[in-house]
Amino acid sequence: MAGAPDEVVATPILHVDMDAFYASVALRERPDLVDQPVVVGGSGRGVVLAANYPARRYGIRSAVPMTRARRLCPHVVVLAPDYDTFSTVSASVMATFREVTPLVEAISLDEAFLDVRGSTRRLGPPGEIAEWLRSTIHDEQGITCSVGVAASVSVAKLASRRAKPDGVIVVPPSQVTSFLHPLDVGELFGVGEKTRVLLHGRGFRTVGDVAHTPLQDLRRAVGSHLGTQLHHLAWGTDRSELTPRSGPYEPDRSMGADETFARDIADRDVIVRELLRLCAKVGGRMRAAGVAGRTITLKVRFSDFTTITRSRTQPEATDVTVEIHREVTRLYDALGLTGQRLRLVGVRVEGLVPRATVHHQLALDEPDHGWPEADRAVDRATRRFGSSAVRPASLVGVRARGR
């Protein structure tokens, strides 16, 4: 999309997203595989970290279990991740962004928002800056990126998605409604699959349906909190200010905690309570570090020292104790360990990103205050009065070790 020069200058927010970043970096050393379906990830029961575009044509996406990826495409090539190289390339890309503007809000290793309103006099309109970034990253790093250019964060994000792969889309203010309103409501930034289904069930199928519903009616239909957010997203009037971070994007990769029982345990209630204590411990550490993660891992060790792990990647990063515990409990129950004695249990959260960069998926009837606020109240009490000052009710009276 294009617009008049004054309109284009009014689109200062860029969302730059590397195309199949991990796969693209891995394939730099294997040009013979560029046209073949390739995924990056662990073997066995691991999940796909990234898939190149030939692999995506088979329905393979990130977070798909590797076993399913092999069923979808038996001849897919699996490359092991090289995190050091990924971090090095990411740091170089972020440095290129900061050559343009100091206002860079990194979302992950492979994407960031840029505010270029202070750079247009030196470098030209935002659309030209986007094209310069695209060509520079390709020339210097040997990978491609897509860029969305708009007046707000959510519209820039949607534009970069539509620009993939290796493209630029500018959405000037005069074209925001024609760009947004025909889209399925599930494409709005932060709307997950569950909320999309619920919105469809309440008659909101397109973004235009949301936009043309009076705000009070929208709030009554889906709740005040979600209704207000959807209204702004549907008109492209959401956030336009960024939260810059200095330095390269280098989060810790994971945080976890284990517990070895004083005696082997088979009682599900005892095990689930212990998992809750570990989740509270890990969640507190994550909140203290200002990070959240998407991949939640359960570890169990049997009385014969056999150890297994199970993981599941969530659509959205979290640092909320109850959400981590809910997923860990599901993973435990899915193992079907009734009557089997355990020596150790562990919880780990991986794929950590700065909490400030996590854009919470919108949910119907979501209260303004809930579990995240409760966690932070517990954190404040713990800092002031010690780790035993506040704990979940099910843990009251339970000793730290030897259940």
Q: Is 110 annotated as a binding residue?
A: yes
Question: Which phi and psi angles does 196 have, rounded to 5°?
Answer: -60, -45
| Cα–Cα distance list, 163 to 159, 207, 254 (Å) | 6, 19, 32
The letter for the amino acid at 73 is C
Contact 332, 314 (CB under 8 A): no
Q: Which of 7, 99, 105, 111 is catalytic?
A: 111
350 is catalytic: no
Provide the 8-state DSSP code for 348.
E
* Structure tokens, 220: 């009554």
The letter for the amino acid at 30 is R
Calpha distance 268→84 (Å, rounded): 40
Q: Are strands 38-41 and 77-79 parallel, antiparallel or unpaired?
A: parallel
Calpha distance 19→4 (Å, rounded): 29
Query: What is the DSSP track for 239-287?
Result: --------S-----SEEEEEEEEEEEE--HHHHHHHHHHHHHHHHHHHH
Q: Is 319 annotated as a binding residue?
A: no
Contact 45, 68 (CB under 8 A): no
- Distance between the two ends of the chain, CA-based, in angstroms? 63
For the annotated catalytic residues, the residue numbers are 111
Residue stretches of the annotated binding site: 17, 110
Residue stretches of the annotated binding site for Mg(2+): 17, 110
